[in-house]
Amino acid sequence: MPQELFEVQLVSPEQILFEGEAEMVVCRALDGDIAFLKDHVPYLGVLADDAVRILQPGDVETAAAVHGGFVQMNGEKLVVLSDLAELKGEIDVARAEQAKADAEAALAADADDAEAAAALARAETRLKVAGASS
């Protein structure tokens, strides 16, 4: 029996990255991973830096690296509002690898560098979503 569909929007300040129907959406909130299906109870959560996976009919998956923001579900529609988000196909792997190396070097020099730690988390998320995790 096919899954019921619900509306999904993935939005960043620059653009709407995805707008369509999905069978399931999986993301990471600050309190852990959560999967949404149609008629999920209402939910509002803060997103962690991680992947958002939008599972669509026909075994199609849209993945995005999401860096902060919120996820809201009302049972019929899920909205991901992200501070910064990139679809899998838009991620520059070489740039993400360089950003990771730069952040690791900065953290080696100063383990308390919060900016470098945040840059490392963003780079690792990008590499994970792009399938280039090391």
So where are the chain's domains?
6-88, 92-130
The whole-number pLDDT of residue 60 equals: 95
The whole-number pLDDT of residue 1 equals: 53
The whole-number pLDDT of residue 35 equals: 96
Prediction pTM value = 0.88
Query: Facing residues of 9 across strands?
Result: 19, 79
Q: Do residues 83 and 69 touch, judged by C-beta distance below 8 A?
A: yes
* Fold that domain 6-88 belongs to in CATH: ATP Synthase; domain 1 (2.60.15)
Helix-helix angle 114-130:93-109, to 10 degrees: 150
The first and second tokens of residue 61, run together, are: 């998956």
Q: Do residues 37 and 77 touch, judged by C-beta distance below 8 A?
A: no
d(CA 61, CA 65): 13
pLDDT tens digit at each of 134 positions of the chain:
567 999 999 999 989 999 999 999 999 999 999 999 999 999 999 999 999 999 999 999 999 999 999 999 998 999 999 989 999 999 999 999 999 999 999 999 999 999 999 999 999 999 999 987 65
The whole-number pLDDT of residue 67 equals: 92
For residue 61, give the H/E element and its range. strand 60-66
The whole-number pLDDT of residue 2 equals: 64
Q: Do residues 121 and 65 touch, judged by C-beta distance below 8 A?
A: no
The first and second tokens of residue 34, run together, are: 């959560």
